Structure 1
Amino acid sequence: MGMNGSTMLEPLRQGLPPIDPAAVSTAASCSLPARYEAVREARQFTGRTLSQWNLSERFDDVALVVSELVTNALRHALPSDTPRDDEPPVRLHLMHWTSRLVCAVRDPSHQNPVARETEEDCAAESGRGLLLVESFADSWGWHPLAGALTGKVVWALFRLPTD
């Protein structure tokens, strides 16, 4: 993950129980193009990664959340004139600690994600993605990127059972 890892992880630590750096198992990330097929690619990447980490039993919940976060980034965070051939504008990060898994999606938008909260919103055919994220993940949030990176990261945390 390089330099982006520390920029992205620090805000995730705020408001969460302390993370022992020695407990970090591994991390993986992939770039996603500005097309809706990227959602399938993100799910496949998530499945392969969870399998490598012996976390396949978490695939259904994690893949649902990853799908929603990537769909939101593609639908709401990309300008309509986003070039389809340039550097992929969306990036999925999966980070695994002994007791938690974080899925984070980076996009170029500075707008905060908004979860629908009214009964009318919940009855809509679309727009319930963050409500699903909230329902399946143990917590979620977002933060703007700093430094040379522009945009934001929307993340979801899953607590893992400790043996």
Structure 2
Amino acid sequence: MQKEIQTLQTRTALYRRERHSVALAREFTRTALADWDLKQRAEDIVLCVSELATNALLHGVPPGRGYRLWLSLPEAARGTLRIEVHDSGGGEPCVPAAAVTGDAEAGRGLLLVAALADAWGIGERLPGKVVWCEFRRGEGDAGEGYGRA
């Protein structure tokens, strides 16, 4: 019996506590997706990165600190793209229990992540936390096949 060895392609970047870092995180993600030839759901993936980076910037990064964006993808044709945003702040992110009104300019970040990603969650980190989301790859070639379970 032959055991399949699965290697990961990973990309990581550190960002300062600056507003333009969210745009840099989006561009970093677009570049990784293009390099990995991932086209399906690319805009959903970039939007989730934007929301997680924005939340880290606004709620999770203390002054003088930054956050890390980490992307990983198995090299096999099937697998799961994982996005992690690491910050050193306290608190635990959550999806609002009450619906956000149509005129609200904030409060939708994790609602969007929960709706678009196949999975998401929060992990511990000392100090701080890791907020992650995943997009599963389905049947098909590496550039296609992302879908919901």
Compute the TM-score of the two structures, normalised by the length of structure 1.
0.76
What is the identity, as a one-letter code, of the residue corresponding to 1:49? A
8 Å CA contact retained: 1:99, 1:162 = no
Pairwise mapping of residues 12-161 of structure 1 onto structure 2 (< 5 A)? 22-79=5-62, 82-83=63-64, 89-97=66-74, 98-119=78-99, 121-123=100-102, 124-145=104-125, 149-161=126-138
8 A contact 1:26–1:96 mirrored in 2: yes
Distance, in Å, in 2 between the alignment partners of 1:76 and 1:109 is: 7
| Higher share of residues assigned strand | 2
Shift in Å, 1:36: 1.1
Opposite residue 57 of structure 2, the aligned amino acid is L
Moved >6 Å (runs of 4+): none
Report the 3-state secondary structure (helix = DSSP H, G, I; strand = E; otherwise coil) of the residue aligned with 2:94. coil
Aligned length: 134
Task: Quote the Cα distance in structure 2 between the aligned partners of 1:25 and 1:109.
Answer: 28
5+ residue gaps, structure 2, are 141-149
Aligned sequence identity (%): 37
Please, which runs of 5 or more residues in structure 1 have no aligned partner?
1-19
Distance 1:35 1:23, change over 3 A: same
Query: SS at the partner of 2:86?
Result: strand
Please, what TM-score do these two structures have when normalized by structure 2?
0.82
Higher helix share: 1
CA shift for structure 1 position 110: 2.9
